Amino acid sequence: MSRIGKRPVELPGGVSASVSGQTIEVKGPKGTLSFTATDDVTLTVEDSAVKVEPRGKSKRARQQWGMSRTLVQNCVTGVTDGFKKELEISGVGYRAQMQGNVLKLNLGYSHDVNFEPPEGVTVTAPKQTHIVVEGIDQQLVGQVAANIREWRGPEPYKGKGIRYKNEYIFRKEGKKK
């Protein structure tokens, strides 16, 4: 049995959930998120909690059980608190700044990189070497942060590039004479 799937997802005050078929819609103070579960699980809203139950004893149903419960929990967390990823820039001349809604990155290329965040995600640059990505959809926040990091990932010799906050970069030793 799934230890994660057995636990119901508690709905805090100000958050409501409605199920129609296999789709659950969660409304909260920060917005609305929806999640469509596979046919292997059943979603029900009881009192102030969402329960996820498997439809059968197949391996796939048991796999989907815990994952579906976690994705419903992420919807609830997103509409109440939101999600945040922080990125750090290190390197001589590497910097980030906001120009309106566009993130302008100087990353050692011959041109500046202009990154426009998608709808539902807020990108800010409080310092020139610090980028904050925020939103209610965890998957979208992580994907936007990964897309920004992709422009200049951290390299192992000097550690220059864009990295997640508290990410450890395995450093290599350079050539010896």
Q: Which residues of the chain have pLDDT under 70?
A: 1
| pLDDT given for residue 175 in this prediction | 87
pTM beyond cutoff 0.75 = yes
Which one, of 129, 125, 139, lies nearest residue 162 by Cα? Answer: 129
Q: What is the pLDDT of residues 142-176, one digit of tens each?
A: 999 999 999 999 999 998 999 999 999 999 998 88
Instruction: Decide if 95 contacts 106 (C-beta within 8 A).
Output: yes
Angle between helices 59-80 and 138-150 (to 10 degrees): 80
Helix (H) or strand (E) holding 115: strand 113-115
**Alpha-carbon gap, residue 118 to 87, rounded angstroms:** 17
- List phi, psi (to 5°) of 120: 95, 0
Closest listed residue to residue 33, CA positions, set 73, 69, 61: 73
What residue ranges define each of the domains in the chain, with the CATH number in brackets? 3-80 (3.90.930.12), 83-164 (3.90.930.12)
Distance, CA of 130 to CA of 52 (rounded, Å): 39
Residue 1 has a pLDDT of: 63
